[in-house]
């Protein structure tokens, strides 16, 4: 059983209470990074929280690091070690370990961090707007290879009524920048057949079924690094297509309402897989995703060089555009 943090006393003498937030951190072989993630939660300006760490069978010294934190903060941190089952499995394990005292739930990937006021701002927003069951926000993205930080814009910022369709079309949301009311997750779990994109598929279901609220302050700091599973572009593209197909099967009214936009998105999803397979020289499989004769000819002629050159050209143009922006900014 998770215990509530004792009520805090304000400087004027009155007792203030905060809803209990459970922060679920799934992790796997993140010994070098998880300490930073845990610290970002412990250093929140919001007090009433518990951290549930789910170690998905790490083989490095993640366990030792987590157990050190537990010994130092036993009232705040609970650590579980389980057999490896994938990120969705670890997230579900964490959900199953929350109790009825929990009023809000959020997730944090163990290579990311919360910004200091995330929980204070987002719980305050949902306490004020009882009609909303979750809130979403932008994120700060750090690209390790470029040593560059930039703002990652979430789908439908300022327009929560359009969040469900915009999320489907763009997949633009970071799990660390979402806060859920615990009551809406009682009967919801992550799809454990998805090894990638399980967080977006989960959020998509929530967005279709519930009202959300946009938070103007970024919620988390996300690290794009070489060890990130999001670097597996083929697997990610396939997972997005699979998740989208499951969404449309489960919510036919959603499809009927936005059919033209959805059809365009599904076509792009197939094209993204095709391009990544061509670049990786998986010619035969690329041909199965081809949507016209030209794409089939390119695949069976093994002409992936076309897409590799095109990607290099776009990267070059993008780099020059960023340099120009910095010059103008000066």
Residues 21, 105 within the same domain: yes
Q: Enter the tokens of residue 327.
A: 């010059």
- What one-character DSSP code corresponds to residue 153? P
Q: Can you give the pLDDT at residue 299?
A: 84
Total structural domains within the chain: 2
Q: Which helix (H) or strand (E) holds 218?
A: strand 212-224
Q: 315: domain range?
A: 258-329
Residues 197, 323 within the same domain: no
Instruction: Please give the backbone phi and psi of residue 64, each rounded to the nearest 5 degrees, phi first.
Output: -60, -40
Is there a domain that residue 64 lies in?
yes
Q: Can you give the pLDDT at residue 326?
A: 52
Residue 257's Cα: distance from chain center in Å?
26
Whole-model pTM over 0.75 = yes
Q: Can you give the pLDDT at residue 60?
A: 97
Q: Which helix (H) or strand (E) holds 307?
A: helix 305-329
Instruction: Please give the backbone phi and psi of residue 22, each rounded to the nearest 5 degrees, phi first.
Output: -100, 120
What whole-number percentage of the chain has pLDDT above 70? 85
Task: Give tens-digit pLDDT for 150-202.
Answer: 999 999 999 999 999 999 999 999 999 999 999 999 999 999 999 999 999 99
Higher pLDDT, 162 or 11: 162
Instruction: Kindly report the number of other CB atoms within 10 A of residue 288's CB atom.
Output: 13
Residues 15, 76 within the same domain: yes
Q: Can you give the pLDDT at residue 259?
A: 98
Is there a domain that residue 195 lies in?
yes
- Report yes or no: 170 and 262 within 8 Å, Cβ to Cβ: no
Is there a domain that residue 45 lies in?
yes
What is the arithmetic mean of pLDDT over 36-65?
Answer: 98
Is there a domain that residue 188 lies in?
yes
Q: Can you give the pLDDT at residue 203?
A: 98
What's the whole-number average pLDDT of the chain?
Answer: 89
Task: Give tens-digit pLDDT for 64-73.
Answer: 999 999 999 9
Among 172, 302, 169, 147, smallest CA distance to 224 is for: 147
Is there a domain that residue 263 lies in?
yes
Residues 39, 109 within the same domain: yes
């Amino acid at each position: 059983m998770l215990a509530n943090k004792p009520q805090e006393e304000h400087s004027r003498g009155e007792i203030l209470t905060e809803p209990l937030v459970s922060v679920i951190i799934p992790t796997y072989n993140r010994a070098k990074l998880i300490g930073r993630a845990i610290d970002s939660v412990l250093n929140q300006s919001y007090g009433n929280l518990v951290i549930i760490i789910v170690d998905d069978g790490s083989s490095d010294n993640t366990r030792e690091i987590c157990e050190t934190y537990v010994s130092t903060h036993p009232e705040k941190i609970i650590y579980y070690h389980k057999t490896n089952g994938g990120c969705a499995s670890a997230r579900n394990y964490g959900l199953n370990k929350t109790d009825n005292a929990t009023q809000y739930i959020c997730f944090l990937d163990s290579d990311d961090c919360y910004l200091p006021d995330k929980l204070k701002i987002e719980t305050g927003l949902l306490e004020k707007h009882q009609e909303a069951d979750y809130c979403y926000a932008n994120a700060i993205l750090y690209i390790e290879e470029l040593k560059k930080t930039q703002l990652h814009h979430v789908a439908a910022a300022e327009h929560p009524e359009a969040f469900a369709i915009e999320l489907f079309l763009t997949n633009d949301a970071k799990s660390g920048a979402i806060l859920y009311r615990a009551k809406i997750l009682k009967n919801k779990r992550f799809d454990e057949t998805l090894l990638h994109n399980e967080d977006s598929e989960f959020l998509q279901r929530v967005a279709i079924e519930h009202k959300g609220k946009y938070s103007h302050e970024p919620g988390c700091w996300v690290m794009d690094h070489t060890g990130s599973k999001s670097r597996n572009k083929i697997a990610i593209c396939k997972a997005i297509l699979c998740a989208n197909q499951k969404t449309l099967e489960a919510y036919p009214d959603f499809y009927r309402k936005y059919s033209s936009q959805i059809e365009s998105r599904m076509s792009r999803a197939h094209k993204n897989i095709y391009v990544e397979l061509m670049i990786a020289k998986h010619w035969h499989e690329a041909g199965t995703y081809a949507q016209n004769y030209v794409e089939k000819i390119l695949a069976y002629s093994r002409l992936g060089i076309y897409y590799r050159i095109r990607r290099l050209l776009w990267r070059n143009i993008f780099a020059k555009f960023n340099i120009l922006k910095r010059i103008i900014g000066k």
